[in-house]
Homo-oligomer: A and B are copies of this chain.
Amino acid sequence: MKVLIVHAHPEPQSFTAALRDQAVQTFEAQGHQVQVSDLYAMNWNPVASAEDFSARENPEYLVYALEQRLGVKSGSIAADIQQELDKLLWADLVVFNFPIFWFSTPAILKGWFDRVLVSGVCYGGKRFYDQGGLVGKKALVTVTLGGREHMFGEGAIHGPLEDLLRPLLRGTLAYVGFEVLEPFVAWHVPYISEDARKAFLHSYQQRLEHLSDDLPLTFPRLSQFDEALYPLA
């Protein structure tokens, strides 16, 4: 299996980085090939802009998705985007490894999605959800959190974590066709003991060793909707 780990944490010694290293080790011990995109170390530019195209279909007015679609065909898309897109298309499994910032991804990772999930390759027209451009690939979201587990879930103060991660799990990853696995969550990370951290690393290793047994989460299928995307009765 070919695995891409997209890692985003501003502190190189963070527990989030330890989870990344655990994943690299575990996958390599199983004989898988691994590439890591460490967005902070790469000084990744997260801002989708006109500068992403060396030539434009319409130099007067930027429609970003349209220029992506044409730029990736003509080779005028920025080299840093093309490099990440190549890794994405190479991978069978992509692990997104990050700390929750404002119940969402850090901006540097949000900008990876904004720039790399190129229209015409990853989605476009009726190619989304189970018809998305990345069908056949799996995605795993691995997050660290400051909050405690009892603060999340039905009736809890912040509600279910799956609801908070919905723009990512469903709106982004399932949208482009990934089989999305249940997220791995390390709770209360800034406040826990070394032993509790080791326990998270150990359970992460066990999860990764048996990842092929995981059933993906369930999302809409285009066959449930008509041509105009109204739900079928």
Taking the complex as formed, is A105 at the interface, i.e. its CB lies under 8 A from any CB of chain B? yes
Q: Is the CB of A157 within 8 A of B225?
A: yes
Copies of this chain, whole number: 2
Q: Is the CB of B164 within 8 A of A164?
A: no
Instruction: Known A104-B171, A108-B107, A171-B158; judge A50-B10 contact (CB<8 A).
Output: yes
C-alpha gap A190/B159 in the complex (Å):
34
Q: Is the CB of A231 within 8 A of B156?
A: yes
Q: Which residues of B contact A108 (CB under 8 A)?
A: 46-47, 107, 111
Classify chain A's interface size.
35 or more
Most buried by B among A46, A102, A220: A102
Q: Which of B62, B103, B229 contacts A150 (CB 8 A)?
A: B229
Residues of A1-59 at the interface with B, using a CB-CB cut-off of 8 Å, are 10-11, 13, 40, 46-50
C-alpha gap A106/B113 in the complex (Å):
10
Q: Given A48-B101, A48-B107, A102-B113, 6 other A-B contacts at CB below 8 A?
A: A47-B106, A101-B113, A104-B168, A107-B110, A157-B231, A163-B166
